[in-house]
Each structure stands twice: as C-alpha cells, then as structure tokens.
Amino acid sequence: MDSRDTVSAAFGAADPAGEPAGRDNVPRASQTGAVLDDTPATETTTGIGGLTAAGHVGSPPLGERRGAAIPPPTIYDVASAAGVSIASVSRVLNGRGNPMAETRQRVLQAVAELGFIPDGAARALSARLKEIIGVVIRRPPPTEPLGDDIFQDEEESLQFPDLINRGIELAAQNRDYNLLVSSVDVDDHDHTRRVFALARKSDGLILHDQVLDTDQLERLSRQVPVVTLAGVATPTTSNVGGDNQGSMRELARHLVRVHGYRTLAYLGGHPDSPDNLARQAAFSAEVAAAGGTFVDGPEWQGNYCAAGGARVIDRMLARGGSAARLPRAIACANDQTALGVVYALMQHGLDVPGDVAVTGFDDIPVARHLRPQLTTVRQPIQELGATAFEVLYSMINDAGHAPRNIVLPTRLIPRESCGCRPDPVTPLWLAG
C-alpha cells in the first residue's frame, strides 16, 4: 500500500469526481488503532457523527435527527449527506469557483432532501473561509562539518517533517484545501511575528514540535484554530502525536531483558522538544525498573540530526577512547540521529551491535536498508499529518469543537542493530 492508499484507508478514498467518499465509508476508530489519551480535553468517539480516532468530523447520522425536538439541518449536515467537504457545499450554494457537475448535483440533492435553508451565519462562515491552512516546521541549524563532510547539508533533507507534511497535503486535497508552509530556525527566538502573520493568511495552523511556548499558543489560538504536532495540548489548542511512553518502555525492556544489556544511554533531540523529553523520561525510568543502569549527562545531547549523533560519539571516543567508554546500548531520539551514531562507531572500528547496540525512533524508509538494519520504533508518520489536518478542519468548521490530545499507536521493530535477527523481508542483495 502506498502513501496515498494509507491516507485513503484512514480518511476515506476520493471518488472519481475528486470529492471525499461518503461518510458512511469512514472506518470506525477501532480499525485505525488510534488512541485518545485521558487528558480532560480528550474524548473517545467512534463512528460517524463526531471526531473519530482517525480525525474525521461530521454531523450526526440522519436517523438521529428524526424527532420533534431536532433542530433544523445545517451546512455540516448537507456536506455529510452529500459526501463532500463544507468548502464544496459553500461553493455550490454561493456560486463561487467552478464545482464539478456531479458535486453540484449531490449538494443540491442533499439540500432538497434535508430542507436546508442557508442562514446569515452559514453564508458568513463560507464567505470568510480562505480554504488555506498554514504549516510551520522547525528547521535545524546548519550542520557543522565533520571530517569527511558526509552529512553536509543534512538540514535540507528533513525526512520526518517532509513525510508528515505529505500526510497533511493528501488530507487537505480531499477537503479542497491548500497549504502554506513556512519554517523557523530552532535557535530563532523571535519568530512569533512571522507565525502570526501566517495565521492572518490561513483558516488555521498546524505547528510542528515546539514552535511556540504555551502563552504564545494561547494568544495565537484566539486568532485562528491551532493544532500542534508532537507538542502538548492546551485548553485552547489540540495536539496529535505518537505513543512515546509506551514504545520507549517496551524498547527498554527489550534491550535489558531480551539482550541482557546492563548499561544504556539515551542520545537526545532538541532539548525543548516535548517528544524528546517524553522519550527520555520513559526510557530512563524503564531501564531502572528492569534492573539496568541508565547513563546520563549533558554530553548525550544531540539535535535530531545524523551529524549531531556522530559528533557525540566522536567526542566521547576522542584521544584514543574505546568501546569501554561507551554504554552497551544507545537509544537515539530518532532514526537520523541513529544513522550518525552507527556511522561514527564504525569509523572508530567498533561493531554494531557486537560492541554497542544502537536503536532509533520513527522507522523512516532508510532505517530498514541500513547495514546493519536499524532497530527502531515505528510510528505512522503520514497518518500523524493527516490526523492533524482532520482535527484542524473540524475546529475550523465548528467553533464549539473542544480541543483534544490524540495519541496514535507506535510499534517496536527489532532488527539487527540491537542484536536481533535480520528482517526476513529485506532483499538478498541488501543482506548479502
């Protein structure tokens, strides 16, 4: 299944006319595997008529509206009945754009069947929507060159954010939305003006990682709806992320109990990244609980980049160091960091996993083709982006939509770099 199939399976495939499939085709929450945590803003919903774990939003089924006290139909009901986006309904009703004939027919049929009469509020909503969302990523600083410049210009290849943005893009296309993508430097602490300027051009914003602090998020959310990725949910913003705690605890148990490693370290990402902090806390606690020794200190600070991981190892092995100076296993904040760690260890003549075991997080495509294959934690990267868009879309079209924290499942993928057997699906030309 390719990336487009993955998003289609989660959010409903597009029909031949280019509109999303009808809401009756939306999979139930139990099919997606997403988990909504127990924070106060979180609700567990299934099926049609609310936000499913995959991020869908819709009005209650028509059967639930039958009865004497049921309010009149809304523009959301029309979109749900027609199986199209609210933006498409507004274009048909207001004569904007050039909707396809089939879309127009489906909308008008739903309007007639429901007895929908557009009111002033509905017309005002459709008039003010720009059908654009803003996306802001954190750009790492330029990498300091290593001796052979193998990771030169690494910041130009942001594999994880790029995969997330692809998920956002596919979901947005199904809703007739476009993206405005911007970036801010990790070390830039004066970027709020640009973020707020982007908000004025958008119906809502999706922010990667720790772009803004809590106070800034609260201010921004008074201007437009906001969803953070790998952040922290607030009373006025929603957050979408992977299960960092569960997967890192499982990884720690695997390394200590299955392989018997006694000393373990965590090589971190950006110091203020919520993902990084959650992974480190869960891993260190579980290592101690499993009877291992957790090695900590400022020297284990990376930056989510391969060059940063390699530099940490180089510094530790400087001046004739050996494997004895290193812990028996190193869990890295992400796969790109792990790539740099493996490279540096091999440059120093050390074997992975014979001398030092190495693991990553994310399972980006290159992880399974590395030699040795990288043990990692797989999270549904594109689904993170698609879910973030669907949550934002529901917030844009429902002013009373409660903020929430959505946690998508992750899975430990044991491969060679921790001491497990090679992945049997790897082509022979890669394993030989």
CATH code of residue 109: 1.10.260.40
Domain presence at residue 15:
no
Domain assignment of residue 186, given as a range: 132-241+382-400
Residue partners of 373: CB distance under 8 A and separation at least 6: 367, 415, 416, 417, 422, 423, 426
pTM exceeding 0.85? no
Q: How high is the pLDDT of residue 232?
A: 81
Residue 206, CA atoms < 13 Å, CB-side half-sphere: 29
Q: Examine the domain organization and report whether 75 and 224 are in the same domain.
A: no
426 within some domain: yes
- Which pLDDT tens digits describe the chain residue by residue (432 residues)? 443 333 333 333 333 333 333 333 333 333 333 443 434 344 333 322 333 333 333 444 444 444 445 677 877 788 889 888 777 887 787 766 677 888 888 888 888 888 776 655 555 555 567 889 999 988 766 655 555 566 655 555 557 888 999 999 999 998 889 999 998 876 666 678 889 889 989 999 999 988 888 888 888 988 899 999 988 888 889 999 999 999 999 999 999 999 999 999 999 998 989 999 999 999 999 999 999 999 999 999 998 988 889 999 999 998 666 677 899 999 999 999 999 999 999 999 999 999 999 999 999 988 888 889 999 999 999 999 999 999 999 898 876 666 789 999 999 999 999 999 887 655 444 444
> How high is the pLDDT of residue 118?
67
In a domain, 296, yes or no: yes
How far is the first Cα of the chain from the last one, in angstroms, to the nearest whole number?
Answer: 26
Task: For residues 263 and 149, state if they share a domain.
Answer: no
Residues 249, 333, single domain; the answer is yes
Type of residue at 330: I
| Domain final position from 128, 163, 185 | 128
User: Are 142 and 102 part of one and the same domain?
Assistant: no
Listed residues 84, 104, 128: the one ending a domain:
128
What does the pLDDT read at residue 262? Answer: 97
Distance, CA of 217 to CA of 227 (rounded, Å): 10
- Residue 40's pLDDT is 37
Q: Is the domain of 139 the same as that of 180?
A: yes
* C-beta separation of 334 from 360 below 8 A: yes
Amino acid at 354: G
pLDDT value of residue 378: 97
Considering the domain architecture, whether residues 264 and 345 belong to the same structural domain is answered as yes
**Rounded-to-integer distance, Cα 137 and Cα 236, Å:** 20
Within a domain: 1 = no
Q: In sequence order, what DSSP letters do the residues of 250-315 get, joined into one string?
A: HHHHIIIIIS---EEEEEB--TT-HHHHHHHHHHHHHHHHTT-EEE--GGGB--SSHHHHHHHHHH
Domain boundary among 67, 101, 128: 128
Residues 249 and 336 placed together within one structural domain of the fold: yes
Based on the fold, state whether residues 48 and 60 are members of the same structural domain: yes
Q: How many C-beta neighbours within 10 Å does residue 177 have?
A: 24
Q: Are residues 68 and 158 in the same domain?
A: no
Helices assigned H by DSSP within 72-119: 75-82, 86-94, 101-114
Residue 392 lies in a domain: yes
Looking up residue 279, the CATH number of its domain turns out to be 3.40.50.2300
Question: Angle at the Cα of 68 (from 64 to 69), degrees rounded to 5?
Answer: 75
Bond before 372 cis per omega within 30 degrees = yes
Asked if residue 181 belongs to a domain, the reply is yes
- Quote the number of domains for the chain: 3
Give me the residue label for tokens 């049921």. 70
Burial 182-214 (b: 16+ CB within 10 A, else e): bbbebeeeebbeebbebbeebbbbbbbbbbbee
Residues 293 and 424 in one domain: yes
Same domain (yes/no): 84, 232: no
Q: Is residue 12 part of a domain?
A: no
**Statement to judge: residues 283 and 422 lie in one domain:** yes
Asked, for residue 156, whether it belongs to a domain, the answer is yes
